[in-house]
Every structure is written in structure tokens, then in C-alpha cells.
């Protein structure tokens, strides 16, 4: 190969290497841009107040978003049983023992809670479902179980539970039991003062000054 031909081949090889380098940079930039689209999209939606959660996704409070335009399935009737467990010195009950609903129909049941103690308390309800397979289809739109509640001595509160049974509930499920158990949340309020200890402190004679 003559010297001019060898020089031309070298130049061509260098051009090819530069082109490959440029293509690698372009691919890297495209990948980075595509990766950054997700947080950018979420930031824009958050700033505009747009909900980017999917319908089956739980939110921070534990509730589900739900398509309220879902048509009611009047061909099916589901019996919903309500159970209230009071694990502690308080009163807790539902206004109804049971109700019949159609899948896709929005329904409401009321619960009452009373702190019968002589001290302030903080408690939260934990829901459970029977049968367990019904849980993904029991959509609570509003529920007191989403947050903790502080009640003063003797204070009563009444809360609604707004729910919709997903029409996709398996056909063999005809009864669902929604059970709530209220637990006291420790460390949220100071313990009640000990009256005996307080009287002893008051009655104790002051030490003489030296």
C-alpha cells in the first residue's frame, strides 16, 4: 500500500472512531433524559395538583383511590357484617350489625367511640377482613382508621366509614366481615397523675433550714 493510501485509511479510521464516540455520547444523553423524565413528570404533577397514583395504589394514609363512575352491579348483593372490638377500657360499636350492598354502590356505616377513663388517651383502629381474599376489593373512601385520635376523659366521637365493594369481587364471595379493633397508642399522652403519691408529697413536712 502506498503512503497516500495508508494516510487516507488512517484518516478514515479516525473519522469512524469520532463518529462512534459521538453516537455513544448521544445514547448516554438519551438514556439520562429518559431516566430523568419520571421525577420531572412527578414534580410537575405535584406542582399542578394532579394525582398520579394509579387506581390500585395505596396512598400514605392507607386508603385507595377509586373510580366513582363504576356502574353498580344490581344483579349481585353482598352482605357486609360489622364487628367492633374494644381492647381496653372504652366503648366502641357500629350503628349497624350488617347491611346488604351491591358491588359498585357507595355505602356508609357509622361507628361510635367513647373514652370512659378519667384520663386523656390516643387510640387508632386497625381493620381486618373475612374472608381475607375480599380485602383488595373493599375500597374505603373515608375511614377513621386512617389516623390516630385523641379523646379527653368521657369524650365521645362518631365517625363514618364510606366504602365501595369492587364489582370485580369473586362471585363466590357473598358475605364480608369488616372488623375493627381499637388499640391505645402508647407514649402519645402523659400518664394520669398518681393521687396517692401527690397527697404524700403535699403532706410531707418541709426539711428545717440549717
pLDDT score, position 6: 57
pLDDT tens digits in sequence order for the chain, 210 residues long: 555 555 666 667 776 777 767 766 665 655 454 444 444 444 443 343 333 333 333 343 344 445 555 689 999 999 999 998 876 778 889 999 999 999 999 999 999 999 998 999 898 888 999 999 999 999 999 999 988 999 999 999 999 999 999 999 999 999 999 999 888 887 554 444 444 433 443 344 445 544
pLDDT score, position 155: 92
d(CA 8, CA 14): 10
Work out whether the CA dihedral 41, 44, 45, 46 comes out positive or negative.
Answer: positive
Do residues 116 and 90 make contact, with C-beta atoms less than 8 angstroms apart? yes
pLDDT score, position 152: 92
Do residues 103 and 80 make contact, with C-beta atoms less than 8 angstroms apart? no
pLDDT score, position 35: 40
CB atoms within 10 A of CB 188: 13
* H/E stretch holding 79: strand 78-86
The DSSP string of 44-68 is: HHHHHT-----TT-B-TTS-B---T
pTM here is 0.56
d(CA 33, CA 54): 24
pLDDT score, position 84: 87
Amino acid at each position: 500500500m502506498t503512503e497516500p493510501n495508508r494516510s487516507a485509511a488512517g484518516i478514515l479510521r479516525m473519522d469512524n472512531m469520532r463518529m462512534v464516540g459521538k453516537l455513544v455520547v448521544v445514547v448516554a444523553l438519551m438514556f439520562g433524559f429518559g431516566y430523568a423524565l419520571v421525577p420531572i413528570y412527578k414534580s410537575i404533577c405535584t406542582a399542578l395538583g394532579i394525582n398520579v397514583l394509579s387506581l390500585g395504589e395505596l396512598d400514605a394514609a392507607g386508603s385507595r383511590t377509586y373510580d366513582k363512575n363504576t356502574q353498580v352491579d344490581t344483579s349481585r348483593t353482598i352482605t357486609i357484617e360489622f364487628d367492633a372490638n374494644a381492647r381496653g377500657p372504652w366503648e366502641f360499636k357500629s350503628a349497624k350489625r350488617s347491611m346488604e350492598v351491591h358491588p359498585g354502590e357507595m355505602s356508609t356505616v357509622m361507628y361510635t367511640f367513647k373514652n370512659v377513663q378519667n384520663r386523656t388517651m390516643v387510640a387508632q383502629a386497625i381493620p381486618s377482613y373475612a374472608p381475607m381474599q375480599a380485602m383488595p376489593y373493599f375500597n374505603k373512601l373515608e375511614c377513621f382508621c386512617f389516623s390516630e385520635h385523641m379523646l379527653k376523659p368521657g369524650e365521645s366521637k362518631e365517625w363514618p366509614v364510606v366504602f365501595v365493594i369492587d364489582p370485580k369481587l369473586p362471585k363466590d364471595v357473598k358475605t364480608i366481615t369488616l372488623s375493627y379493633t381499637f388499640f391505645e397508642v402508647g407514649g402519645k399522652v402523659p400518664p394520669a397523675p398518681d393521687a396517692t403519691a401527690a397527697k404524700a408529697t403535699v403532706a410531707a413536712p418541709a426539711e428545717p433550714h440549717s
